[in-house]
Structure 1
Amino acid sequence: MKIAAAVIVGSALASSAQSKPTADERYPYNGPDVPIGDWVDKTVEGSGKGFPRLVEPPAVKPAKANPSNNINVISLSYAGNGVNIHYQTPFGLGASPSVAWGTSAGSLTSIATGSSRSYDRTPPCSRVAVTQCSQFYHDVQIRNLSPDTTYYYKIPAANGTTASEVLSFKTAREAGSKRAFTVAVLNDMGYTNAGGTFRELNRALDEGVAFAWHGGDISYADDWFSGILPCASDWPVCYNGTGSELPGGVTPDYETPLPAGEVPNQGGPRGGDMSVLYESNWDLWQQWINGISMKVPYMVLPGNHEAACAEFDGPGQLLASYLNRNEPNSTSPKSNKLTYYSCPPSQRNYTAYQHRFRMPGRESGGVTNFWYSFDYGLAHFISFNGETDYPYSPEWPFARDVRGGESTPKENETFITDSGPFGAVDGSIYTKESYEQYRWLEKDLASVDREKTPWVIAMSHRPMYSSQVSAYQKNMRDAFEGLFLKYGVDAYLSGHIHWYERTFPLGNNGTIDKAAIINNNTYRTNPGKSITHIINGMAGNIESHSTLSKGQSPLNITCVLDQSHYGFSKLTIHNETVLTWSFVKGSDGSSGDDFTLVKKGSGSGSRNSTMTSQSGIAATDKTTGTSISTAAAGGITTVTEVVNSYTTYCPGSTTFTQGPRTYVVSEATTLTITDCPCTLTHTKSLPSAGISSAVISGNRTAAPSGNAPDKTEGGSSLAHLTSGGQQPAPAGPTSSPVGAAGTTASVLVAQGGRVGADASLVGFVALAAAAAALM
């Protein structure tokens, strides 16, 4: 299709504040107006022998067979002390969007109104089935709600839509609430290879996750040529839809299989040109995820796949020939390259991403969906933009494209993913302090009340460290690592690399903080010294897994690396001192990695500190007058102590003797003793860290031994990361970081009454308290 050139005043990609979704149109779009099938096979004439089109059920089932409008997507998000209800329709509502709500499903007496937005979608929904297309995006905020409370809501009918059923949501817990909660964390999720992740996400929803946090690369709409592949004998790992059927009255072409030569994607009446596929990929994915996003807040942040209609070209400039010259199945010289103007205007500059979600940027002083923060219970969550708005970002503004004395670049000087900035840039684009995002991030971190929210978790799309080394990682570190260390960020989460990877605690420039390693599955926080990094990019998409090159080994910063399994992760905040993380495999729901992060207690920070937990006050009683004796022989440590509680978790095999009773506790087992106070004698053999460093599925590398080269106190230098080199993990088993440090872990004893409904958490809570006692 051909779009006439339009001149806009000021560029969306100039170095000034531009959070409004806009695209520069100084040069015309001259791309295709033919079905992709004609590229694949020009003899196709609608023979009807190909794959069926993929459809997904809309959020609201139409009340009649031939709807003229419909609510296709519903998505929740946090908005200050309330929620935002986002919904999407193919056509306008004829009035301001509204939501009826209340604290009872039978009494929705309050009405909230909001606003609508739209963009010049290519093609418009008038050419697509009503229940499979979104072009109008509505946002209604319900404010000043009570925390941790269930509310009910209903979206009324308007301009031909069918009213929704009565739905519900639960508000965020207020900052400082001490009850445990779990978050579903995912990155890099399309359709293909993501079926298992989708199934396990829904199971987690049934188990009560508070919200989902998706760290970019949402739907893979820009992979439109590969797109969404339905199941076939030659592609068994695929996306086959959820069995939805279109309502009656739509064009018969939607009920007819694709012509035999066409690429098997969802598209328009004839399979669709590129523009149909890009927007329809978004539509299909959002409707697929409705069952999650309309029940719990679905918090998102930007990735590289949201920037534009495509990223890279193939051999012979095949894609540039198609998009720039409307020449399918053709090659061209290198001078015909993909530029910012190769995509239709509606598929540039994160336009779809900016319309299809509504995050609390305004409520937290950030910028729309690009950077924001919010509190939930004992944690402060930060979403920020790793794609634009910092020096040498992987997607950049026109200001980096200009040559000589130009004010704006020429068409052939631009890149297809040019984007932003979305905040103000006051100064040089090569100075991090010039960027509004950086200044916001420092202000946000400085304002965190660590008494209320002791845990601070940050996420953007791209990692700062990985065994798959890339230049952008150093740029990320240069921009943000110093702030995170300065303000004691506990964990940094990312994706982008399509595998699961957990590092050891890392300080500035990749220095391994051995002092923060209790064992391979338990770290302690060390504010100002180190951060735990987790790459969580394995949700599943058409691009499959990332893998190490043949002969390449993980770097010594990597503790766990899984290149084989898809899935997502659960982050659980248990209390002020215990955070656990579990990688949930999409294949069967089993665990691919379990990890615990612990903090010092809220008291003096000594071994006598007590920690509030789900099961009461967890501590080892070492008050004055308590009899404690310790003896060690043959690698076995025997401890006798008076305890005032009954629950303990052991990181290794341990034998407990209490009077005539003997308890043998194996690894990762919880022991409960009820008749306390008592005298407890336990023998303990510290666990071995003999874990293979071979590159296998779910690979775990051994913790760094005491012989690792030191550059700073308690750490190993990783200067090679700044020069692009790599260092393999230690070959073979090494001693446990705990043993290497010469520390004997005392078991936790938890005071108080019997564990209640959250007994499943007590093992992690107890382990954390034991670890904290060593600090």
Structure 2
Amino acid sequence: MMFLLNILLLSFLNLKVRADIFYYQPEQVHLSYGKNVYEIVVTWSTFNDTKSSVVEYGIGGMILQAEGTSKLFVDGGPERHAQYIHRVRLADLTPDSTYVYHCGSDLGWSAQFWFKTPPDNPNWQPHLAIYGDMGNENAQSLVRLQEESQRGMYDAILHVGDFAYDMDTQNAYIGDAFMRQIESVAAYVPYMTCPGNHEEKYNFSNYMERFTMPGRREDPFYSFNVGPMHIISISTELYYFLNFGLKPLVFQYEWLENDLAEANLPENREKHPWIIVMGHRPMYCSNTDKDDCTHHETLTRVGLPFLHFFGLEKLMYDYAVDLQIWAHEHSYERLWPVYNYKVYNGSYDAPYTNPGAPVQIITGSAGCKEGKDDFIPAKPEWSAFTSSDYGYTRLKAYNSTHLHLEQVSDDKAGLVIDSFWIIKNFHGPYKYSMMDWNKLDNRRLEKLTATA
């Protein structure tokens, strides 16, 4: 009896001690782009208020200092798990330089990390890693991505929705664990994101509070420029969780059309000719899981039922989006250029050379506890290549005419199992994309683009 009482007393004292522990040490450090590629936002968490948020940084030594803000985030679970999320902007960074940095306060500092800024050169060739659907458990591709990121292979990461499985699980402790896991990637390269269906709990609060993306803090959509690419991130989840209201979907659609129109202005399309859109749920897929993308009238493709308001496929076709990147399916699928279920290959021998419709890929096989998705036996005519291997995608923008993508299989020890070039001699309305642009002089080309 006395033994049991001692055990209970020790347990009580242990809980008392744990409740009295203060957590000032920064963790979950990650980077993102600010207003341009020469502004980096450093985001991290502490579990107690440090009263200040500081990044010490510099080229060759931490000789500069920037201060930011922190915000108390309380998860919606029963424990009301709380943490302070800190954000500091590092502006006007020197091009083509390696910065070292750490973050924190006088109460505790993170480990030292580094990041590299791109050259101030119109011929810069940015290299991205892209994936969705990575969990805290079975994050199969993460080890390879950690190694490649710290070797300097990538300029940025695109995580196309679904994190941790789920960030709110176990009162958001799974979210904390996942953010610690990706620190070895995200503290070295900008980690650009969009929300997925697994972020839905408590109105996407774990996603919205933990990540710092360009644009307004309250919006789940934004865009940014990286070399010759204009990248747009949207929330497909606004189509599926209307219980949070219709207004966010209306605002996103209006914003997206305005952003696409601005990106197509001749002076902008000349500087950033490749328009790329990423969102979590695809318009098309040939998986066996009965997800929305296996149905003919996918919500993201045609819009809300019956009235078909806010459909994305026609909008992206009309505004000449070059590449659409999706996830959600735990597999990889490359599509032929497709619009309204019709294939618009550039030619029989070169389908991705001057294609007549946007190119789409699905890359949701980074690894999570839900495993992989299989494909239907009869491949649709618009599906070009499929794989259920765990893995991720690499994208490199060589110039205004050549974009290269490849799929890495982690199951096959990093083997590239698919690769292709998108080659475009002109970026503009698809009704003209089959023409021989080499025969058009600049004056005629400008006139045609302005009146399209």
TM-score surpassing 0.5?
yes
Per-residue CA deviations over 1:431-473 (Å, capped at 9, x if unaligned) read xxxx111111111111121111111111100111112343486
Distance in structure 1 (CA, Å) of the matches to 2:408 and 2:190:
20
* Cα deviation 1:258-287 (Å, max 9, x = unaligned): xxxxxxxxxxxxxxxxxxx24111111111
Partner Cα separation in structure 1 for residue 175 and residue 385 of structure 2: 33
2:168 and 2:206 in contact (8 A); partners too = no
Q: 1:600 to 1:172 in 2, by over 3 A?
A: same
Indicate the residue corresponding to 1:104 in structure 2.
60
Amino acid at match of 1:539: A
2:254 to 439, 445, 453: 439
Residue 534 (structure 1) aligned with residue 361 (structure 2): yes
CA deviation string 1:2-30 (max 9, x = no partner): xxxxxxxxxxxxxxxxxxxxxxxxxxxxx
User: Using the alignment, how far apart are the partners of 1:204 and 1:556 within structure 2?
Assistant: 35
In the alignment, does 2:390 pair up with 1:571?
no
Partner of 1:394: 240
Give the secondary-structure state (helix, strand or coil) at the position aligned to 1:387: helix
Amino acid at match of 1:537: G
Q: Residues 66 and 88 of structure 2 are in contact (CA less than 8 Å); yes or no, is this contact kept in structure 1?
A: no
1:581 aligns with 405
- Give the 3 Å change call, closer, same or farther, for CA 494–163 of structure 1 in structure 2: same
Partner residue, 2:299: 475
Matched, 1:219 2:164: yes
Q: Secondary structure at the match of 1:568?
A: strand
Structure 1 position 580, deviation (Å)? 0.7
Name which of 310, 313, 333 aligns with 1:501.
333
Higher strand share: 2
Structure 2 Cα separation of the partners of residues 96 and 223 of structure 1: 26
The CA deviation at 1:154 is 2.4
Cα RMSD, aligned residues only: 2.7
Deviations 1:670-728 (A, max 9, x none): xxxxxxxxxxxxxxxxxxxxxxxxxxxxxxxxxxxxxxxxxxxxxxxxxxxxxxxxxxx
Aligned to 2:371: 544
Give the distance between the partners of 1:473 and 1:535, measured in 2 at CA: 18
- 2:35 maps to which of 72, 80, 98: 80
- CA positional deviation for 1:518: 3.4
Change over 3 Å in CA distance of 1:201–1:437 after alignment to 2: same
- 2:423 maps to 598
Paired residues of 2:404 and 2:421 also in contact (CA < 8 A): yes
In structure 2, do the counterparts of structure 1 residues 517 and 463 end up closer, same or farther at CA, with 3 Å as the change threshold?
farther
Q: By how many angstroms is 1:555 displaced?
A: 1.0
1:356 alignment counterpart: 210
The reply to whether residue 304 of structure 1 matches residue 150 of structure 2 is no
Pair 1:510 & 2:341 matched? yes
Relative to structure 1, the CA distance from residue 190 to residue 465 in structure 2 (aligned partners, 3 Å threshold; closer, same or farther) is same
Deviation string for 1:109-167 (max 9, x for gaps)? 33332332322554255xxxxxxxx7211111122334444333222434x4x212443
Structure 1 position 369, deviation (Å) = 5.7
2:70 is the alignment partner of 1:115: yes
Q: Identify if the C-alpha distance between structure 1 residues 589 and 306 changes in structure 2 by more than 3 Å, giving closer, same or farther.
A: same
Confirm or deny: 8 A CA contact 1:191 1:285 kept in the other structure.
Answer: yes
- Work out whether residues 97 and 116 of structure 2, in 8 Å CA contact, stay in contact via their aligned partners in 1: yes
CA distance in 2, matches of 1:222, 1:143: 30
Structure 1 segments unaligned to the other structure (5+ residues): 1-44, 47-65, 126-133, 225-276, 309-347, 398-418, 426-434, 610-775
2:49 is aligned to: 92
Q: Once the two structures are superposed, what CA deviation does each residue of 1:636-656 show, in whole Å capped at 9, x if it has no partner?
A: xxxxxxxxxxxxxxxxxxxxx
Name the CA distance, whole Å, in 2 between partners of 1:494 and 1:379.
Answer: 17
Give 3-state SS (helix, strand or coil) of 1:576's partner.
coil
2:354 to 520, 525, 532: 525
Question: Hey, what does 1:461 align to over in structure 2?
Answer: 280
1:359–1:368 CA contact under 8 A, matched in 2? no
Shift of the 421–171 alpha-carbon distance from structure 1 to 2, 3 Å rule, reads: farther
Query: 3-state DSSP class of the match of 2:237?
Result: coil
Unaligned ranges ≥5, structure 2: 1-6, 9-20, 288-292, 303-310, 428-435, 442-452
Partners of 1:140 and 1:222 in 2: how far apart?
Answer: 23
User: 1-side partners of 2:295 and 2:240: how far apart?
Assistant: 10
TM-score between both structures, scaled by the size of structure 2 = 0.80
* 1:421 Cα deviation after fit: 5.3
Report the CA distance between 1:595 and its aligned residue. 1.1
User: What's the CA shift for 1:207?
Assistant: 4.4
CA separation in 1, counterparts of 2:367 and 2:168?
A: 13
Give, in angstroms, the shift of residue 486 of structure 1: 1.4
Partners of 2:59 and 2:127 lie apart in 1 by: 24
AA partner of residue 345 (structure 2): K
Query: Residues 451 and 169 (structure 1 numbering): CA distance in 2 closer, same or farther, change over 3 Å?
Result: same
Distance 1:208 1:369 in 2: 30
TM-score by length of 1: 0.48
**Structure-2 residue corresponding to 1:710:** none
Say whether the 8 Å CA contact 2:199–2:207 is kept in structure 1: yes
Name the residue aligned to 2:18: none
Residue 55 (structure 1) aligns with: none
Alignment of 1:654-669 (within 5 A): none
Q: Could you say if the C-alpha distance between residues 89 and 222 of structure 1 is closer, same or farther in structure 2, counting changes exceeding 3 Å?
A: closer
Distance in 1, matches of 2:96 and 2:218, equals 24
> What secondary structure sits across from 2:142 in the alignment?
helix
Report the Cα distance in structure 2 between the residues aligned to 1:147 and 1:114, rounded to whole angstroms: 26
Task: Give the secondary structure class of the aligned counterpart of 1:548.
Answer: coil
Name the residue aligned to 1:200: 144
Q: Secondary structure at the match of 1:99?
A: strand
1:739-775 Cα distance to aligned partner (Å, 9 max, x none): xxxxxxxxxxxxxxxxxxxxxxxxxxxxxxxxxxxxx
| Matched residue, 1:177 | 122
Alignment match, 1:741: none
Residues in 2 aligned to 1:517 and 1:454: alpha-carbon distance in whole angstroms? 25
- Separation in 2, partners of 1:516, 1:450: 25
* Cα shift readout 1:67-97 (whole Å, capped 9, x = no counterpart): 643212101000103111100011111x231
**Alpha-carbon distance in 2 for matches of 1:204, 1:517:** 36
Instruction: Specify which structure has the higher proportion of helix.
Output: 2
Identical-residue share of aligned pairs (%): 29
Q: Is the 8 A contact 2:283 2:301 kept in 1?
A: yes
Alignment of 1:231-310 (within 5 A): 277-308=170-201
Number of the residue aligned with 2:432: none
Q: Note if contact 1:504-1:517 (Cα within 8 Å) is conserved in structure 2.
A: no
8 Å contact 1:357–1:369 — kept in the other structure?
no
Amino acid corresponding to residue 481 of structure 1 in structure 2: E
Residues 1:485 and 1:172: Cα distance change in structure 2 (over 3 Å) = farther
Amino acid paired to 1:538: S
Report the Cα offset of residue 543 of structure 1.
0.9
How many residue pairs get aligned? The number is 393
